[in-house]
Amino acid sequence: MTTWDTAEGGDLRGPLDLTKAATAVLDARDVVLGWSPRAEELLGYPAEEVLGTPLHRLLAVPARLDGAGPLGGDGGPDGRGEDIDLRHRDGHPVRVAVTRSFLSPSPRGPVSVLLAARVTEVREWEIHQAMLRALLDQSPIGLTVYGTDLRVRWANATCKRELAGPPENYVGCGPDELVPGGQIIAGSSAGNLRELVQGVLETGAPVVELHYRGRPPEDPAHDRIWSYSYYRLLGPGGEPLGVCEESYDITERYRAQQRLQLLVRAGEHIGTTLDLYRTAEELAEVAVPQFAEAAFVDLFPDVLEGGESGSSAPRSRPLVRVASRAAPGAGEAVTVLPETPVGRHPRYPGESPQARSLAAGGPVLEPAPDEEPGGPAAVLRTLAVPVRARGAAMGVVTFLRGDRHDPFDSDELALADELVRRTAVSVDNAWRYATEHTAALTLQRSLLPRSLPPQTAVETAYRYLPADSRVGVGGDWFDVIPLSGTRVGLVVGDVVGHGLRAAATMGRLRTTVRALAQLDLAPDELLSRLDDLVTQTDEERALVDPGPEPAPDDAALGVTCLYAVYDPVSQRCVLARAGHPLPAVVGADGGVAFPELPAGPPLGTGGLPFESAEIELPEGSLLALFTDGLVEARDLDVGEGLYRLRDVLSGHRRGLEELCDRVLGVLPSGSTTDDAALLLVRTRALNSDQVAAWEIAADPAAVSDVRTEVGGRLHDWGLDELEFGTELVVSELVTNAIRYAGGPIHLRLIRDRTLICEVSDTGHTSPHLRHAESEDEGGRGLFLVAQLTQRWGTRYTSAGKVIWAEQPLPPKP
């Protein structure tokens, strides 16, 4: 058996070895008796020139060799004398290291042998020897030599320290017996070390940087990581002698790399969505099993619901389990824990690590490092870390380890805190998104029509598709507005952007359009006033915030809008648009057209004035109003989108709901990033027996005749109950037209859901309701009209104005 101690002494002298050094045999007077070929090579003197010559003549600096000079003894502890300069045959000095060995005294024969070698060669050899001694005795790298039987034959001092015992305890052990229970974790696919070392011995292929985990005999409670490298040892004839193993403890480096990799993985996988549950699951997936055997994530309910977090004391608020994960091979101490399903409320007593962590606002470890129990008993180690953002507690994360893993150390506490901190940022982002989304959804649902009321003039159906179907919030809108005279206003608009700001802008514009529509404005005038309002609002914002940073543009700037008014009596439709796509019109024959309308600029951008266009829509015509998100996307050209829409609308005889579904079957494109709105309108017409019209001469005497004809028509309609009030309304309105406006004057009665009375004249002055004094002779006409009718108003036309009044129909018996 080879000794475990390193070789020492001077039997192997390198360049000063008798077989390698320049040799001179000297007598008692230092006269050269023998001269080796290596000496001739070193100094250039052949033997015949040196033999019989005193050695001091070869010194570069003459000196006595009487035992007191540089060659006067056996040298120091290393067997060497001093370094001296000898004279070469050609005259130049040669610096050499020498050593002298004395033989038994003889008056005539040899007395000593002098060995010499160049100083540079000796120094190189000495450095090499020092390196070998350090490698064997001082190097942190462990060296172990296995014989061809794969048993330990030798190990250096580092291995002795790590194996913690005398050599006889380990010599003869196999590769897997030095650290029982260890395992290869990286660098090889071999099942165990014996199989790997056998492969190196047979093939000669080295193995470098194999990572091995185990618990050494001197510290059986903690895992250590080593880096192993193996290479084959060969004899002088190339025959295998064994395998050398280099080992280095990389536990701290490995753990630091694992922590860094865990943080990198956390950055890549945590917070990929704005879903709170998914974010919590991502944290658990990153942590298990690399960091812990199990992980639970619990959040407060108001965080999940998008409410205000941190509104009450943390320990008094219930938590909701949002993610849970355990490693398949978790230890017994972990698997016996009661499981709280996702969505349920876990119970944490006041002294639990979770409750203490929330109260303290920092990590809590149980048991503490100085309370770790000894022995083989199963131990559950709990690390609770609060989820905090912007100073508010949002929940707590629990990491668990059993006895199969090392306890959490201080570096891992910092790592857990960093993992949860990154998760908290993502949770806070998701919570703020949920809060904004909830507000935007509530706002939008309160502003968009949940259902369209039935109209006499049209039949309608609609679809609304936000760009993100999960979000459900966008800036597009549509509306159907009942107007006077059974007419109906149709509007569709597109706000730039998504989310709360777009929804708020949409609500503001929709409300404004409704208010302007009640003024019975023509479509072009309505868009002009809407454009003025948007421009004025933006100018006011600039005045309020004149700082160096420009205020963000109003989301209403650049909004597109289309407004149309359809009259079921004339069966004509007047339209105007502000940068909006053209509507589609389907005639009774199924032909689909996109009528050319004047293209006004988007709202707030200025430029050309808005213009209206009038088209005829016979009864049964189909009108499709939509936003550009329906027919245009990154992978869908607008021409192709319109072609698909045209193809579906050609089946116009289908029900409107079915047509809407068919449109959504081919539009919009799956890659669209814009909201889409679709409003389908099928026109109706009033029957001729529902409308009665008269032209009246501008003569007060004609009022009586008109009253008589109105009474007759009401009788024909079965509305005798309304005869008195209607005759009075007609009398007042016609009289005012004759007195203040002049002819021609027209009267029209419409029997629809209400009884509508309209008087038109050429005047452009709107009458005003006022309270007449007791002594006034007039001024009570409109007051009487207001009292007798449900509502009344004025609308202007190109020829003048129309004053209208509506009365509810009496209930049917």
Higher pLDDT, 379 or 374: 379
Q: What's the CA gap between 464 and 477, in Å, rounded?
A: 8
**Per-residue pLDDT reduced to its tens digit, 199-212:** 999 999 999 999 99
pLDDT(689) > 80: yes
* pLDDT at residue 378 in the model: 53
Q: What is the DSSP string of 718-761?
A: T-GGGHHHHHHHHHHHHHHHHHHT-S-EEEEEEESSEEEEEEEE
Contact 259, 416 (CB under 8 A): no
pLDDT(3) > 50: no
Higher pLDDT, 614 or 498: 614
**Per-residue pLDDT reduced to its tens digit, 114-149:** 999 999 999 999 888 888 888 777 788 888 899 999
Q: What is the DSSP string of 590-604?
A: --EE-----EEPPTT
Confidence of residue 68 (pLDDT cuts 50, 70, 90): very low
| Sign of the C-alpha dihedral computed for residues 501, 504, 509 and 510 taken in this order | positive
**Per-residue pLDDT reduced to its tens digit, 400-439:** 988 777 888 888 899 999 999 999 999 998 888 877 777 7
* pLDDT at residue 101 in the model: 86
* pLDDT at residue 696 in the model: 92
Rg (CA), the chain: 51
Contact 568, 685 (CB under 8 A): yes
- What is residue 670's three-state secondary structure? coil
Contact 557, 494 (CB under 8 A): no
- Residues in contact with 422: Cβ distance below 8 Å, sequence separation at least 6, in sequence order: 263, 266, 267, 270, 271
Report the run of H or E that residue 532 belongs to, with start and end.
helix 523-544
Of 72-86, 431-445, 601-615, 641-655, the poorest mean pLDDT is in 72-86
Report the run of H or E that residue 804 belongs to, with start and end.
strand 800-808
Residue 502's nearest CA partner among 441, 573, 418 is: 441
Q: What is the DSSP string of 283-331?
A: HHHHHTTTT-SEEEEEE-HHHHTT--SS-S-GGGS--EEEEEEE-TT--
How do 488-494 and 112-118 pair as beta strands? unpaired
| Sign of the C-alpha dihedral computed for residues 654, 655, 658 and 660 taken in this order | positive
**Per-residue pLDDT reduced to its tens digit, 6-39:** 334 444 568 988 888 999 999 888 899 999 999 9
Q: What's the CA gap between 83 and 95, in Å, rounded?
A: 7
Q: What's the CA gap between 599 and 241, in Å, rounded?
A: 93
Contact 301, 345 (CB under 8 A): no
Q: What's the CA gap between 645 and 277, in Å, rounded?
A: 39
- Residues in contact with 462: Cβ distance below 8 Å, sequence separation at least 6, in sequence order: 452, 478, 660, 677, 678, 679, 680
Confidence of residue 773 (pLDDT cuts 50, 70, 90): low
Residue 578's nearest CA partner among 536, 553, 607 is: 607
Higher pLDDT, 635 or 613: 613
Confidence of residue 612 (pLDDT cuts 50, 70, 90): very high
Percentage above 90 pLDDT, the chain: 49
Residue 70's nearest CA partner among 17, 78, 80, 120 is: 80
**Per-residue pLDDT reduced to its tens digit, 615-670:** 999 999 999 999 998 998 888 889 999 999 999 999 888 999 999 999 999 988 77
H-assigned helices in 319-448? 332-335, 353-360, 410-447
* pLDDT at residue 163 in the model: 63
* pLDDT at residue 76 in the model: 47
Higher pLDDT, 663 or 255: 663
pLDDT(5) > 50: no
How do 745-751 and 754-761 pair as beta strands? antiparallel
Other Cβ atoms less than 10 A from the Cβ of 761: the count is 25
Confidence of residue 582 (pLDDT cuts 50, 70, 90): very high
- What is residue 223's three-state secondary structure? coil
Percentage above 70 pLDDT, the chain: 86
- Mean residue pLDDT of the chain comes to 85
* pLDDT at residue 560 in the model: 94
Confidence of residue 307 (pLDDT cuts 50, 70, 90): low
Confidence of residue 569 (pLDDT cuts 50, 70, 90): very high
Report the run of H or E that residue 525 belongs to, with start and end.
helix 523-544
* pLDDT at residue 106 in the model: 67
Contact 121, 94 (CB under 8 A): no
Contact 596, 531 (CB under 8 A): no
Please state the rounded mean pLDDT for residues 749-759: 95
Q: What's the CA gap between 238 and 643, in Å, rounded?
A: 82
Q: What is the 3-state secondary structure (H, E, C) of 574-590?
A: EEEEECCCCCEEECCCC
Write down the pTM of the prediction: 0.59
Report the run of H or E that residue 517 belongs to, with start and end.
helix 499-517
**Per-residue pLDDT reduced to its tens digit, 274-299:** 889 999 999 999 999 889 999 999 99
- Residues in contact with 12: Cβ distance below 8 Å, sequence separation at least 6, in sequence order: none
* pLDDT at residue 157 in the model: 81
